[in-house]
Structure 1
């Protein structure tokens, strides 16, 4: 099968006049080449790698915390694949140590396509900025978590750890970084000076910029301003609910290194699943496009990463090339993952075909 596209994302840029030849099985790419005078079997507006999402709490009705098993991982990954995301970091949020340990073992044991590692978000966070995370499980970074990190890295699993750096033992931070863990500051009360110290001590990323952290003011720049002015990676939620479009655009425009912002979904089980689910025994429901707990507070996001890309462009005028990079190449670079390239040998499950409205085209 020969698929031609008006534009193809390859080598970090949009190319024209190209086509993809699938192999005889249809399961892989045999060639990426100029279309020339050939007549394609299918023509689409855009071919790009499937998205890579570094923060996926759930999908398809499954919450990773509630089902930290290989089967749960497969269900979550398959739900997001149907929506255009080829690779995810399943995210285990603040919970009992046993849940974290089970989640780690599920990722190590699982063989589900699309599982690119694990994101541990909490429990080592600031209680004042816990959001919907359960307060009773919050604790300092400790030997038990360090053992989980060592176990994961010993199994060569990429690990993203979100914590409040101002509350973490600097020696443990350095130890985690030495294991190859990507450390992200989030759910934090850090001021600007504490944030700069954390960056010097091993933090290389910020989790859902603006959310679950104090907001910057003229005399208190805080973690937000320090993050924006750093050369660290910043993940952002672009559902139009968590962050105002103007603030997304401001962060992107103010970065000293342009290509250090990427999108995450913060997706919950309602993405590709039912409109309500249970979290810590509370019923979380979709209300006007937002996920809220019984108190009306946000509890994750009801959006997938491809839809986030669409909304980013619509809300901020971000050019297509930059938006594609923010859901493909850049999150992978932030996690030190190899690029997912449209090239011979790529599995077609990882190839995303879109029409002019960025809707998925099936073949």
Structure 2
């Protein structure tokens, strides 16, 4: 049994002062008034990132192994991430299968923080492919369906372009217990709405690589903003969307429907300034990643940085920014044991200082990061 006493606790809904959290067998057993000394910091629910390509100097596409997953999680845990969907961008079916095998091994071994997999592609739109390799963009086939139908991968999320994946196919994916997101698409609003009606529930990196909102053709952006039921991942790094565009999304979507995501690449948690992506190089300039054509190529954003940006640059209330990083992703992924600090939930927690910097993080009560050892 562990006990952690803090000056402030946010349980996902309410702030409490001077409390102790009792943890046993990886679960939160009780929250009680503190009776002794407390740490002067804020304990909040662990962050859940549904789009993580890499970190710690490794990229999942380049090395789809359980060790890569462990390295990624360790890198991101210092920034408050306690659960993630390692993300495979458009690639060959053989690479996708190797990535799935690595996730299955990690989940079977109860590797901390790995809760599923996100296949971002390969069923995307060539005009909106971004840095995804065109040679691997393809139609949905029996091979991919067999992969998406596996029952050993935890949470399965697939991003598709609805002009290339029909409503019938989306219903088929949903029947395989796949969470379907829409993205990398040039579809018109009617096509996007049909995909939502067929069971798609989310949008991948809102505004980026999707047909824009105009006065007479709302595009994917328009449907994403207008639909009250779907979730949208947002990359709050100051590069993927203008602050005003971010504020439009915050105003348009109901509370609970925007999720902070990183789209993080391998340099997160390192000083690396360059890495290989397929046949090219991606370069880091400060906190921005671009390929040789100058296109954005993921990010070096971390979840704590996204929370800080929401609070400090977009005037999002701290409790709402924290929910965007924890509770709302948990609801989107249908993981009712994550996203809160209440009795019965998994003890995934982050300790933050007054500047929203991470001091410590825990997964299932196991300490993953301590700032003094960084």
Write the distance in 1 (CA, Å) between the matches of 2:295 and 2:12. 41
1:329–1:339 contact (8 Å) kept in structure 2? no
Per-residue CA deviations over 1:37-57 (Å, capped at 9, x if unaligned) read: x222x4233101220000000
Query: 3-state SS of the aligned residue for 1:211?
Result: coil
Q: Is the 8 A contact 1:192 1:221 kept in 2?
A: yes
Alignment-derived partner of residue 124 in structure 1: 123
| Separation of aligned partners in 2, 1:196 and 1:30 | 43
**Aligned-pair CA distance for 1:10:** 1.3
- Matched residues in 1 for 2:65 and 2:331: separation? 27
Question: What does 1:2-151 correspond to in 2, within 5 Å?
Answer: 3-21=4-22, 31-35=30-34, 38-40=35-37, 42-110=38-106, 111=109, 112-151=111-150
Residue 315 of structure 2 is aligned to residue 317 of structure 1: yes
The residue correspondences of 1:330-349 to structure 2 (distance < 5 A) are 330-340=328-338, 341-343=340-342
SS in 2 for 1:198: helix
CA contact (8 A) 2:185 2:210 kept: yes
Residue 220 (structure 2) aligned to one of 219, 223, 228? 223
Unaligned runs of 5+ residues in structure 2 are 361-369
Q: Aligned ranges for residues 119-198 of structure 1 at < 5 Å?
A: 119-151=118-150, 154-155=151-152, 157-198=154-195
Normalising to structure 1: TM-score of the pair? 0.92
Consecutive unaligned residues of structure 1, counting only runs of 5 or more, are none
Q: How much has 1:72 moved relative to structure 2?
A: 1.1
SS at match of 2:97: helix
CA distance in 2: counterparts of 1:210 and 1:232, whole angstroms: 15
Measure, in 2, the Cα distance between the counterparts of 1:263 and 1:360.
Answer: 16
Shift of 1:346: 6.3
Q: Does 1:303 align with 2:304?
A: no
The alignment covers a number of residue pairs equal to 354
Separation of aligned partners in 2, 1:228 and 1:28: 37
| Range that drifts further, 6-15 or 352-361 | 6-15
SS at match of 1:16: strand
Contact 2:51 2:87 in 1 (8 A): yes
Distance in 2 (alpha carbons) for counterparts of 1:86 and 1:64: 18
Deviation of residue 122 (structure 1)? 0.4
Root-mean-square deviation (CA, aligned residues, Å) is: 1.9
1:217-256, Cα deviation, whole Å (9 max, x unpaired): 222211101111112111110001101111111111112x
Shift of residue 278 of structure 1? 0.6
Q: Deviations over 1:313-353 (max 9, x none)?
A: 111100011100000010111111123232457676x3211
Relative to the length of structure 2, the TM-score reads: 0.90
Q: Pick from 349, 352, 360: which aligns with 1:351?
A: 349
